[in-house]
Amino acid sequence: VPAAPAAAVVVLVTGASRGIGAATALRLARDGHDVAVHYHEDADRAERVAREIRTMGQDVLTLQADLGRRASGPELVEAVVEQWGQLDALVNNAGRYERTGFDALSEDAWQRTLDVNVAGPAWLTQAAAPALRKAKGAVVFVSSVVARRGSTHGADYAAAKAGLLGLSRSLALELAPDVRVNAVLPGFIDTDILAGDSRGRRRSREREVPLGRVGRADEVAAAIAFLCGPHASYITGSTLAVDGGLWG
């Protein structure tokens, strides 16, 4: 079975200059799709991802935006539709995490986390909905195991990631039957988000995971690509944990 359907499929991946987003953009390109690589600050890294996608023979567009601004959603969708005339799948991957105990949590940090991690994906998906409906497309939200487990130093982050699950489930109902909407829940994945870990903290994470190690970005990308693609044609409103057994 071919990985991609015969028609060209266009996917927008947010936060695609690094980590899980970059791995997802590369995986989707390898599967034969054209990819819009959104980035926030690092144009050089986004361009590196774009170059790799071009060498696979796929079309690519890099797009800068702060997803904490509501206007970014319509701007991104407009740029994609102008380039390709369609948008078939949207991967809401971008997110911010700042390790903070609850007592020290400021109003600004709370607002910023909710803006970027849950409001941004909502406004972007709202802007993309007409094109996605037309394409009979798919949306994937990148939530987190902390949506279920909670987080000892990231109550704002866990609240936002739990909010994404309510959003995902609601949009699965509201955009049906045209658009499938699902969420992935990564566990501990080896990206910049874990870069601040001490060696001890890393070892304790590894001990906590039933599979005995942290995950790789490409392992999450594989789940996202599955949910975007034709093999998930009867899957909507569901959550897929990619967490080594941390919380199924």
**Which of these segments, 34-42, 53-61, 171-179, 222-230, binds ligand NAD (CB under 6 A)?**
34-42
CA distance 9 to 137: 9
Q: Does 193 bind ligand NAD (CB under 6 A)?
A: yes
Q: Which two tokens stand for residue 109?
A: 């940090």
CA distance 63 to 68: 15
Backbone φ, ψ for residue 175 (5° rounding): -95, -5
CA distance 154 to 202: 17
Q: Does 180 bind ligand NAD (CB under 6 A)?
A: no
Residue 45, judged by CB atoms within 10 A of its CB (0-12, 13-18, 19+), counts as: middle
CA distance 161 to 165: 7
CA distance 211 to 230: 29
Residue 23 or 135 with smaller CB distance to ligand NAD: 23
39 part of the active site: no
Q: Which two tokens stand for residue 63?
A: 């797009």
Tell the smallest beta-carbon distance from residue 137 to ligand NAD (Å): 20
Are the C-beta atoms of 101 and 95 separated by less than 8 Å? Answer: no
Tell the smallest beta-carbon distance from residue 6 to ligand NAD (Å): 31
**Which of these segments, 100-108, 148-156, 189-197, 223-231, binds ligand NAD (CB under 6 A)?**
189-197
Residue 66 or 178 with smaller CB distance to ligand NAD: 66
Q: Which of 43, 66, 130, 136 forms a contact with ligand NAD (CB under 6 A)? A: 66
Q: Does 229 bind ligand NAD (CB under 6 A)?
A: no
Residue ranges in 89-108 that form contacts with ligand NAD under rule CB under 6 A: 93-97
Q: What is the DSSP letter of 194?
A: G
Kindly determine how many residues on this chain lie close enough to bind ligand NAD according to the rule CB under 6 A: 27
Q: Does 221 bind ligand NAD (CB under 6 A)?
A: no
Task: Give the count of alpha carbons within 13 A of 129, CB side only.
Answer: 13
Q: Does 160 bind ligand NAD (CB under 6 A)?
A: no
CA distance 39 to 1: 32
Element (H, E) at 12: strand 10-13
**Which of these segments, 38-46, 124-132, 174-182, 230-238, binds ligand NAD (CB under 6 A)?**
38-46
Residue 39 or 226 with smaller CB distance to ligand NAD: 39
Binding site residues, ligand NAD, CB under 6 A:
15, 17-21, 39-41, 66-68, 93-97, 116, 142, 144, 186, 188-189, 191-194
| Active site amino acids | 157
